[in-house]
Structure 1
């Protein structure tokens, strides 16, 4: 059970991660011709439109949670298959970019280049980064209703309808078992995402920290 301070520091990463993830789904769906998310009020960065109260609290307390899924009508996506894959990957792409951003902010805060140094600020940025890395790695799992499954389903051979139906039926149980028992070690997935984040963020951090200090504090 995390401490109260740890919960408070995790709130920004969870709220921003969830809101931007779902907004990305809605935005890309709109780009591909489906206005369902817009009509349902999901084409917004307002966290209240995307947060599920129970899912948010569980992620803060237990490390496992969810947001309100964005409803998409695949029949309105053009081209459909490309649109479905793009919409599915939009959320994790957004979380990846957020993880890069929070790592950059952590680096600047830890160096005292944000105009105000405090270890709690640095730790908050670090936790936000790890939360978004979790959202990337977890959502890439090929299990419904996760984004990875919506991509993997297009790679299955014809005649896989029964397998897909069984995955939808038993996926909630499988996901629960994964988190309750830790029977599947997902740390290699998270570590791979973290390394990719560092790979992208490092040259950006070097470029930013090379700027004059006065410019950074403007």
Structure 2
């Protein structure tokens, strides 16, 4: 079996994909670590996680899996909410800033495409540079937007679960924590069993695509210059 048959993505896109994954995972985990540190928890700081160095955040196995299975993970940031002045409120914020950081990077990538188009630089360079920019920005855009949506699912170990847990009354939260292992098992089944993935993960990915298209349309309105979303995707696939 060839390497290309093992990969979830085209082999020629591997450099752009690896860069996009490294950036997406790094900003996500850095946002968790930095916000926890600013709220008074030094756990991640003492472990060297308050940094934008990808080596501190990227998990090798998680990255390999996203390349061959379409799903992976970074090194989770340890957070001790007991060190926060307002544990539940600050815990929600720390959980939420990771996905929000991905949203910011995803929007930045598509704004960059629009800015380059506005100035004519997107199409002024060589064909190779043009395609490289298209591929890098597409993966930065798509992966970060998918991480934003995906991490808000209220199933452990995702950030959405932590947000919901901190919103619940304490007695409900304790009951939830007692059964957290079942949530993790359910999550893994959703990811790796094709039939379950089709009715759970795939609709979420479709929602991510809809959000991408909406952000694209919003950028068109802001920059007052229409760009063809279909052309962008076609150029990416070319």
Q: TM-score range by the shorter chain?
A: 0.7 to 0.9
The verdict on how the C-alpha distance between 1:192 and 1:155 changes in structure 2, with shifts beyond 3 A counting, is farther
Which digits, 9 at most, give the CA deviation of each residue in 1:29-77, with x for residues without a partner? 1121111111110010000000110001111222100000111111111
- Alignment of 1:165 with 2:178, yes or no, is yes
CA distance in 1, matches of 2:116, 2:186: 39
Aligned pairs (5 A) from 1:116-135: 116=125, 117-135=129-147
Q: Which runs of 5+ in 2 are unaligned?
A: 1-6, 226-238
Mapped contact 1:96–1:133 kept (Cα < 8 A): yes
Aligned pairs (5 A) from 1:72-111: 72-109=79-116
CA distance in 1, matches of 2:209, 2:115: 22
Which digits, 9 at most, give the CA deviation of each residue in 1:76-124, with x for residues without a partner? 1122111101100110110000001111223345564256342232122
The verdict on how the C-alpha distance between 1:64 and 1:54 changes in structure 2, with shifts beyond 3 A counting, is same
Mapped contact 1:142–1:149 kept (Cα < 8 A): yes
The verdict on how the C-alpha distance between 1:173 and 1:110 changes in structure 2, with shifts beyond 3 A counting, is farther
The verdict on how the C-alpha distance between 1:198 and 1:38 changes in structure 2, with shifts beyond 3 A counting, is same
Q: Which protein has the bigger helix share?
A: 2
Aligned pairs (5 A) from 1:15-30: 15-30=22-37
- Alignment of 1:47 with 2:62, yes or no, is no
State the match for 2:212 in structure 1: 194
Q: Which runs of 5+ in 1 are unaligned?
A: 208-218
Give the superposition deviation at 1:188: 4.8
Which shows bigger deviation, 170-179 or 106-115?
Answer: 106-115
- Alignment of 1:143 with 2:151, yes or no, is no
The verdict on how the C-alpha distance between 1:195 and 1:148 changes in structure 2, with shifts beyond 3 A counting, is farther
Mapped contact 2:88–2:167 kept (Cα < 8 A): no
State the match for 1:153 in structure 2: 165
State the match for 2:3 in structure 1: none
Give the superposition deviation at 1:192: 5.2
Three-state SS of the structure 2 residue aligned to 1:186 is helix
The verdict on how the C-alpha distance between 1:43 and 1:199 changes in structure 2, with shifts beyond 3 A counting, is farther
CA distance in 1, matches of 2:73, 2:138: 21
State the match for 1:113 in structure 2: 121
Three-state SS of the structure 2 residue aligned to 1:171 is helix
Give the superposition deviation at 1:169: 0.8
Give the superposition deviation at 1:174: 1.3
TM-score normalized by the length of structure 1: 0.84
TM-score normalized by the length of structure 2: 0.78
CA distance in 2, matches of 1:9, 1:157: 44
